[in-house]
Amino acid sequence: MSRPAVTVQPDRGEASVALHRIADNIEQVVRGQARAVRLLLCALVSGGHVLLEDVPGTGKTTLAKALARSLHADFQRIQFTPDLMPADILGTSVFNQRDQSFEFHPGPVFTDILLADEINRASPRTQAALLEAMGERQVSLDGVRRPLDELFFVIATQNPIESQGTYPLPEAQMDRFAMRLSLGYVTPEEEVEILGAQSSGHPLERIAPCVSRDVVAALRVAAEAVRLSDEMKRLIVDVVGATRGASGVRTGASPRASLALMKCGQALALLEGTDFVTPEHLAEVAVPVLAHRIVLEPEARFSGRTGVSVVREALAGRIEAHD
């Protein structure tokens, strides 16, 4: 696997500074979402994709756009609809009369940051096309494999309150997202601030890139170098394993989830400026990384149990045991 030449090789302190700079930049636009921004950056650095599950109007698109602008990265947005076809995402080959040859017109997936809005509105076939691209970081079309951009980062959104006319993502596909986040409503004070900031043009117009997109690749390398003790590996495996045997759970989190938990923990450690992973890091990312991968029995679901509660129970006792 070839890696592009890394122009910047930040040490831990610099990495943390760079990440905080991005976070501050985004927070100029997206107010009151410090936690979500933090986790979003974790996912970006860990190389995973993010599923934002929230009601409309909470700033999902703005968040994605602000991230793209801060990185000076390409940004594409696809609004998912029931009639969206795989070719609308991946691209298509068009016959060029003049050259008597097929010419590939890349789809919006060939970008750095992709916002897949309301991903559950498209048919499963289209969803699968995107999710495959996410997993493989490449697109196979007409027998030609076309690699995606190294930075390629998908922020998919999903509206949890509408269920009519939607195709819920299959459980197997949920596993492809490193994290599921929800933004939630901001406090009234922050909302007042948002109103004030919007009175003279959208603040999104005003923010400037603060790091080059190469920095992200360097951050990913730096995150992989964050140290992880055997005890922490054991903790990851214990917590993920506990979700499998928990009551009311049909399918627990997979080994891919363990991997994602580890990478996100490392990314968070990098963000915090420490060069090793602690239980705090794992506890913070465990719910966004694991909860959406857990498939509950219908009875458990109807009695109010959620993936979040399963993960919290898996953490209880285990985190304390590794003080």
Partner 1 sequence: MSAPSASGLPRGDGALPASEAGAFGVPPLALGAALLLWAVRADALVPGVVFAVVVELARLVPWRWDLGARDFNRVADLTGLGFVALVVYQFDAHSVRGIYEVLRWLPAVLVLITAVQVYSTADRVPYTALFLSVRRAVARGAVPDPGTVDMRKPFLLVCLVSAGSGSMDDRALYLPAVALIVAYVVWSARPRRAGGWTTAAALAVAIALGFAGIQGVMAARRAIEPFIMELVQDRIWNYRDPYRAYTAMGQIGRLKLSERIVLRVTPAIGVPPPGLLREATFHNFNTRLWLATQTEFAALEPNAEGTAWRIGATPPSQRHAMIAAYLPRGRGLLAVPNGTFQVEELPVEDLLRNRLGVLKVLQGPEVVEYRARYHPDASYDPPPVDSDRQIPERLRGLLADLSTSLGLDAARASDSAARLQSYFDREFRYTLELTGPDDDTSPLEDFLLRSRAGHCEYFATATVLLLRAAGIPARYATGYSVQEWSELEQAFVVRRRHAHAWALAWIDGQWRDVDTTPAVWLDLESAGTPWWLSGYDLLSWLRHGWVRWRWTETAEGANALLLLALVPLVLALAWRLSRRRRVRRDAAPGRAAAPARVAGADSELLAVVAALQARGLAREPGEPLGGWLGRLSAAGALPEASLVLDVLLPLHRRYRHDPGGLDDAERTRLRTLAAQWIARHGTSG
Residue range at the interface with partner 1 (CB under 8 A); choices 64-72, 131-139, 191-199, 310-318? 310-318
Q: Is 185 in the site for partner 1 (CB under 8 A)?
A: no
Which positions from 57 through 86 interact with partner 1, judged by CB under 8 A? none
Distances (CA, A) of 306 to 65, 287, 294, 302: 30, 11, 8, 9
CA dihedral 87, 135, 261, 224 (to 10 degrees): -120
Q: Is 105 in the site for partner 1 (CB under 8 A)?
A: no
275 touching partner 1, by CB under 8 A: yes
Give the number of residues in contact with partner 1, rule: CB under 8 A: 28
- Sequence-distant (≥ 6) Cβ neighbours of residue 205 within 8 angstroms: none
Which of 274, 300, 306, 308 is close enough to bind partner 1 by CB under 8 A? Answer: 274
Q: Is 113 helix (H, G, I), strand (E, B) or coil?
A: strand
- Interactions with partner 1, residue window 226-245 (CB under 8 A): 227-232, 234, 242
Q: Which stretch binds partner 1 (CB under 8 A): 19-27, 125-133, 204-212, 306-314?
A: 306-314
The residues in 197-226 that bind partner 1, with binding defined as CB under 8 A, are none
The smaller minimum CB distance to partner 1, of residues 18 and 226, is found at 226
Q: Hunting for tokens 């993936």 — which residue is that?
A: 307
Q: For residue 276, state whether it binds partner 1 (rule: CB under 8 A).
A: yes
Per CB under 8 A, 182 contacts partner 1: no
Nearest to 237 by CA among 208, 261, 211: 261
18, amino acid identity: A
Assess contact for 306 and 296: CB atoms under 8 A.
Answer: yes
315 near partner 1, judged by CB under 8 A: yes
Residue 317 engages partner 1 in binding (rule: CB under 8 A) = yes
**Residues with Cβ < 8 Å from 97, sequence gap 6 or more?**
none
Q: Name 322's Cβ contacts closer than 8 Å, sequence gap at least 6.
A: 231, 232, 235, 279
18 lines the binding site for partner 1 (CB under 8 A): no
Q: Is 149 in the site for partner 1 (CB under 8 A)?
A: no
Residues that bind partner 1 (CB under 8 A): 227-232, 234, 242, 274-280, 283-284, 312-320, 322-323
